[in-house]
Amino acid sequence: MKKPIALLTGAGTGLGKELALKLSHTHTVILIGRRENLLNELAAVINTYGRALAVPCDITEPNEIEQLMDKLVRESLLPVDLVIHNAGIGRFGNVEDTSSLDLELMFKTNVFAPIALTKTLLPHMKKQKNGTFLFILSTAALRGKSNESGYAASKFALRGFAKSLVKETEPFGIRVVRTYMGGMNTPFWEHGDHVKDPSRFWKPSEVAHLIMEQIHEKDEIVIESKKHQAKGSST
């Protein structure tokens, strides 16, 4: 029997990689990201027991999304059954020091890119009247955070899109799952000193496990940071 198909953005490292490894036992996985070497390494591992296709793609570029779709058509990998919007970037600092370039980059990557990819893949899901979109958001999409104004704004925007998508896709049997996580120990933090010690955060493998445990039953998954959980348990 043909396996369902999962497509993951930001699949080369961190949470995207761990989700791909978990899904690879039950799905054909399409690995999307900018770093071809990392995608190829992961695909090589998965292809020893399952099927993975590494597709280097900058989803902020419309022409590269078109090329991605052409490849999926050639490989007979449409419709996609599960789309995981995991790719994202953060630039942190106080409001007055946040550059227009950083704001534009965050919105281009965190908002416009997943919207564009959704628009492209959605018609195929509608035809089969089935499928799931999983939006990897952040607890920054639930509440404002100091020195994260631009990042939080981009995640609030994506959350608004995802919640609106719920209303539009429900008649077609399509689910839209939103996941809100606290910090993870991933390369996400390498571009600044906003977080001094990411090793105290969740491991990506731990978060992937929690998501896969809940994805079939919950439309909203909240995974608070370990620090936040500790505060809650002591009150």
Q: List, as one string, the DSSP characters of 58-119.
A: -TTSHHHHHHHHHHHHHTT--S-SEEEE-------S-GGG--HHHHHHHHIIIIIHHHHHHH
Catalytic residue among 151, 156, 180, 201: 151
Does 151 qualify as catalytic in the annotation?
yes
Q: Is 130 left (phi over 0), alpha (psi -120 to 50) or beta?
A: beta
How is residue 177 annotated by DSSP? E
Q: Which two three-digit tokens encode residue 173?
A: 């049997």
Distance of alpha carbon 108 from alpha carbon 150, whole angstroms: 12
Nearest to 173 by CA among 81, 48, 86, 102: 81
Q: Report the sign of the C-alpha dihedral through residues 41, 47, 51, 53, in that order.
A: positive
Determine contact, residues 136/181, Cβ cutoff 8 Å.
Answer: yes
Q: Which two three-digit tokens encode residue 233?
A: 């348990």
Q: Which two three-digit tokens encode residue 192?
A: 């600044």
Outline where DSSP puts E strands in the chain.
5-8, 28-33, 52-56, 82-85, 131-136, 174-181, 220-223
**Catalytic residue list:** 151
